[in-house]
Amino acid sequence: AQSVTQLDSQVPVFEEAPVELRCNYSSSVSVYLFWYVQYPNQGLQLLLKYLSGSTLVKGINGFEAEFNKSQTSFHLRKPSVHISDTAEYFCAVSTNSGGSNYKLTFGKGTLLTVNP
């Protein structure tokens, strides 16, 4: 079974500082990896995804993530955060549930709080 571990449940940072949100996954087969963001009282929105090819993936709002197969990691980074980046971030791995059906397995989330 697939699993996703987000190593930090909360990450407080100051505005304009860099941030890294860590994600490790377990899988015995090829995976598709995703980062979603959830702003307060909203649904989830896709930040970026890794399918294949370049291990450095760029997403919206200045975020990027690096896929590391040997370490089974997919850490999310931003060089300079803003107050508006305060949100909960979820890492997810796509798994095959049979035939052409896929479902996402989510980590438990990391709450990023950006302070002035």
Contact positions vs other proteins (CB under 8 A): 9, 32, 34, 36, 41-46, 49, 51, 90, 94-97, 100-104, 106-109
Nearer CB in complex with other proteins: 34/73: 34
Q: Are strands 10-14 and 110-115 parallel, antiparallel or unpaired?
A: parallel
Beta carbon of residue 94, minimum distance to other proteins (angstroms, whole number): 3
Distance in angstroms (rounded) separating the CA atoms of residues 37 and 28: 26
Beta carbon of residue 116, minimum distance to other proteins (angstroms, whole number): 25
Nearer CB in complex with other proteins: 32/77: 32
Nearer CB in complex with other proteins: 51/56: 51
Beta carbon of residue 95, minimum distance to other proteins (angstroms, whole number): 7
Nearer CB in complex with other proteins: 10/80: 10
Beta carbon of residue 16, minimum distance to other proteins (angstroms, whole number): 29
